[in-house]
Structure 1
Amino acid sequence: MISNYKHIIWDWNGTLFNDVELSVSIVNNLLIKRNLIPLSVEKYKEIFTFPVKDYYVTAGFDFEKESFEIVGKEWMDEYERRKHGCGLSKSAFQLLEKISSLKIEQSILSAYSQHTLVEVVEHFGLTKYFSHLLGLDNIYASSKVKLGKELMKKLALNNGEALLIGDTIHDFNVAAEIGADCILVASGHQSRKNLERCGVPVFDSIKELLEKI
């Protein structure tokens, strides 16, 4: 499966980095502060989407009363304070090592801000596995398509020569836009039910993906 590709493009949050419970905890703190109903993990994975502003609205935030930028910064400030309490997804290190042993290059394409992406990847000692670490230039997690197209051009990859591994429908859409194939894992920020609508292989976890390659 993976051995057929020249390059693997990874999503970070929710795919390699296990931050779902932290994300739910933070958004619930913000909801409770505003006398709104907190989310279960299951409900969160059902409604999470990109752009994240749409997900905030579904969760109950009213951006006529306060700006999305204020809520987004409040969320990110708490995330940055608590992120080192999260770890890698189970078997993530082993899968990166396995792909590296196959002499296949790997990159990260993330909606996380660029400087914090580089910092956290270095924190886990993973920098050696990636030829490129690409994040957005702001904290509001919009779209990765432009960065993905630039990466494909830089690597001189044709359609079907790269595989994007992510945990959201947005990752699937990015893959389609940039000409990469896609695999999704349901252990991240969106439910298996939502991911299966994309019509690509969906694995329960990184561990299962490692077992299948």
Structure 2
Amino acid sequence: MTKHIVWDWNGTLFHDIHAVVEATNAVFEPHGLAPYDVEGFRAVYSRPIWAAYERMLGRSLLDGEWERLDFEFHEHYHRLMPECGLAADALSTLRSWEESGGGQSLLSMWAHDRLVPKVTELGIARRFLRIDGLLAGFGSRKAESMVAHLAALGVDPADVLVIGDSLDDAHAAQHVGARAVLYSGGVTGRAALATCGVPVVDTLADALDHA
């Protein structure tokens, strides 16, 4: 039985797929790449992201190129992000789980100092027992962050359901012994999500059916 849900942010609770695609197109336009639409982007997206960039370019990245492309992406993304908001059923789903008596927290690989103000701005910070984003100087693997997140909460991984839009979310759940549900509204295509062997849903509300 699930007692606690760990939510992902970007692409899950926060509906930012269009900003991600537009930022990616802006980065690669000078390289002569045709713009992607959402489904085209999902078809080429994978992690690590540098490997996806190599597929887009059709060549290996040059020394220092990954860092430059990543910086440019985030510059464009943060310019476009104010146009984004919560997923259509995010608020009602958070409220429903809270009213059922379950606990919930937020774990993101987005910068902590940007994550917390955005969650607060959107009026949902109080619904989480803990909010963790990526801190400077720490590793960027979600599995490692999940270990620290659950330890800080003091919850048993066996009682936890992780809900996210990426294979990394499922891998992080498996790493700690939690369960996972993957949501198709983010950056990863549904077919790729289905390869992970966990339930895949098209709405956040449907994810609660697996809690």
TM value normalised by structure 1:
0.90
Residue 159 of structure 2 is aligned with which of 158, 161, 165? Answer: 161
CA distance in 1, matches of 2:78, 2:141: 20
Give the 5 Å matches for 1:111-150. 111-138=109-136, 142-150=140-148
Q: Distance in 2 between matches of 1:38 and 1:131?
A: 40
Instruction: Measure the CA separation in 2 of the matches of 1:32 and 1:147.
Output: 34
Q: Is the contact between residue 8 and residue 105 of structure 1 (CA under 8 Å) also seen in structure 2?
A: yes
Of all paired residues, the percent bearing the same amino acid is 30
Is the CA contact (8 Å cut-off) linking 1:145 and 1:177 kept in structure 2?
A: yes
Are 2:34 and 1:34 equivalent residues in the alignment? no
SS of 2:163 mapped into structure 1: strand
Question: Partner of 1:180 in structure 2?
Answer: 178
What is the CA-CA distance between 1:23 and the residue it aligns to? 0.5
- Whole-Å Cα distance in 1 between the matches of residues 110 and 94 of structure 2? 20
Match of 1:68 among 66, 70, 74: 66
Equivalent residue for 1:100? 98
Q: Which amino acid aligns with 2:65?
A: S
Per the alignment, residue 151 of structure 1 pairs with 149
**Residue 199 (structure 1) aligns with:** 197
CA contact (8 A) 2:143 2:168 kept: no
Aligned length: 209
Q: CA deviation at 1:65?
A: 6.3
Return the letter of the residue paired with 1:19.
D
Distance 1:110 1:44, change over 3 A: same
How far 1:39 sits from its partner (Å)? 2.1
Secondary structure of the 2:174 match is helix
Alpha-carbon deviation of 1:28?
0.7
Whether 2:11 is the aligned partner of 1:21: answer no
Q: Residues 49 and 170 of structure 1 are in contact (CA less than 8 Å); yes or no, is this contact kept in structure 2?
A: no
Moved over 6 A (4+): none
- Aligned AA for 1:24? V
CA distances 1:133-152 after superposition (whole Å, capped 9, x unpaired): 1111259x942122210122
Query: Is contact 1:50-1:143 (8 Å) kept?
Result: no
Q: Does 1:48 align with 2:45?
A: yes
| Residue 55 of structure 1: how far off its partner (Å) | 1.9
Deviation at 1:159, TM superposition (A): 3.7
Aligned to 2:75: 77
- How many angstroms apart in 2 are the aligned matches of 1:39 and 1:56? 13
AA aligned opposite 1:145: A
Residue 158 of structure 2 aligns to a residue in which SS? coil
Q: TM-score, normalised by structure 2?
A: 0.91
SS of residue in 2 equivalent to 1:108: strand
CA contact (8 A) 1:51 1:142 kept: no
Cα deviation 1:140-181 (Å, max 9, x = unaligned): x94212221012222333342100000111111111112210
Q: Secondary structure at the match of 1:176?
A: helix
- 1:51 is displaced (CA, Å) by 2.3
Aligned-pair CA distance for 1:207: 4.5
Q: Distance in 2 between matches of 1:10 and 1:165?
A: 5
Residue identity in the other structure for 2:37? S
